[in-house]
Amino acid sequence: MSQPNDLPLSLYKANTEFQLRVNKLVMENWKKWLELSSRAVDDGIAESQARVEQLIKAQDWAALATLPADTFWRQLQQHTGDAHVTNQIAANVQAHFAQGLQEAIQTWQKDTAAALGGAGGAGLTGPWDDIVAQWGKFRPSI
């Protein structure tokens, strides 16, 4: 059992660790979204470059006239596939974030319950017993 004076420090440590874990999750999430956005920009640049090259390679007016229709159908097919992949990546990024957040909350609950349980000599456990007991049953559904 720890000393009653250790309770504030133990709670402070539990809360700080929780904040650090959540901050890390947010930063990782931002990084993944930035990578996804960067990939989309790179794809857009490559697509524009390909269109310019097609225009440059056109040898006559008839070939130049067919470019808009050909480009439209090619882009439609490509963007449909890209949207599916992007949606799948986005769902995975959010699922990873939600799982990490759930783990951070559970760790924080355990650390806080341990700190409050360790302060039993200070007469604090009586009022907190019901609250802390519920944390053992709580499983966030994220």
Convert the pLDDT of each residue in 54-92 to its tens digit. Answer: 778 878 887 777 777 777 777 777 777 778 888 898 899
Reference 110, options 35, 8, 14; nearest CA is 14
> What are the residues whose beta carbons fall under 8 Å from the beta carbon of 112, sequence distance 6 or more?
11, 14, 15, 132, 135
How far is Cα 14 from Cα 32, in angstroms, rounded to an integer?
27
Do 120 and 12 contact (CB within 8 A), yes or no?
no
Mean pLDDT in consecutive groups of 10 residues from the start of the chain, 142 residues: 74 95 96 90 85 80 76 76 85 94 95 80 58 61 52
Q: What is the pTM of this model?
A: 0.64
The enclosing H or E element of 43 equals helix 6-57
